[in-house]
Every structure is written in C-alpha cells, then in structure tokens.
Structure 1
C-alpha cells in the first residue's frame, strides 16, 4: 500500500473529502488535498532497495476552527505510524473564508 492510499483511508475514516479535489458545486466546509513531495529508496550493499520513504503534504482547508481537525488528523496519522515532519498554519484565505493549515508527513515501507 502507498502513503497516498493510506492517507485516503484516514480521510475517509474522518469523513473528509480528500485527494486531488475538484467540486462541481459548493465546496464542503472542510476538506483535504494531498501533494506528494518526494519518495526515496534506501540502497544497501547488494544495490537493492530495502526501504522506501514517501513524503506528502496534507493541506487542510476548513471554514470552522481548524485546531480540532489538526488534533484529529495528528492522532490518526500517529495511529498509522506516519512521521509528521512539519505542521504549519499558512493563511486565512479572505476570498474563500477557508483556514489553510498544512501537515507534512512521511512514511517508511520495507520492500
């Protein structure tokens, strides 16, 4: 399973729309967007990768107070063994009314 697939499952468990999100109608009050940042293979003496690391930025867009969703996401990520490398408040988008908060996460997979 990939990190993106696991993040999609976490979002579904929290009842949040997620992924490469487009809305034909009005956007929901809260949703997530996933942006892959990098993936890396760790090689060893036999020149075969044993560990793959994926890092993804989760952008939380929320019209209500984002702090509760930040807490819920953090707990769900830790439960699935994600590493949180950064959490950051980015902006209150005045034109849309959404708070924009990001969490950069990484996950290691043994191959």
Structure 2
C-alpha cells in the first residue's frame, strides 16, 4: 500500500510510528506512550520480520513499560536503524508543526 502511494521506506515507518504515538492511561492511572517506550525500534523490526515481541510493565523504565523482542542476537541492520532514525525525525517534525498550528494567535 505504501509503495502504491509513493511513500519512501522512512515515510512508511513514520506513518506506523505516528499511528501508535499517543498517550494512554496505564495501571494506576500512569500515562504512557507506546511509541516513546524503551525498545520500540527493535519491536518494530520484530513485527516487520516475524519475530516475537511484547509490551510489558516495567516500573524501572520511564513510563513504566518497555518492549521485549526475540530478534536474533545480531540485532537489526544499520540500514534499518538509519530508516528508523529518519522516521523518528519525520514524526518529530510533524508533531512540532501540529503544535505550532494549534497554538492560539
């Protein structure tokens, strides 16, 4: 679908990342954002390539959660990491633009 829409790989990843980039109420009313949680890059890689992953409670992490995965020991490739960083920058740019548009004059 993304290829049909002419999106670059980093843009496709940014769309997915932005889709989960929202605050939710967790246990005890503690807020968390799955896209801003430790291990998100490896979790996206795991999802893309069919490895197991899960979202777990971890009081020691910021937000009280983290992503676990079962990707191979070598981790993800430098090209994937590059795409992921580019996608995160695209999402941050989008968020800044939305906040700027929402500010009252």
- In the superposition, the TM-score normalised over structure 1's length comes to 0.27
Higher helix share: 2
Higher strand share: 1
- In the superposition, the TM-score normalised over structure 2's length comes to 0.28
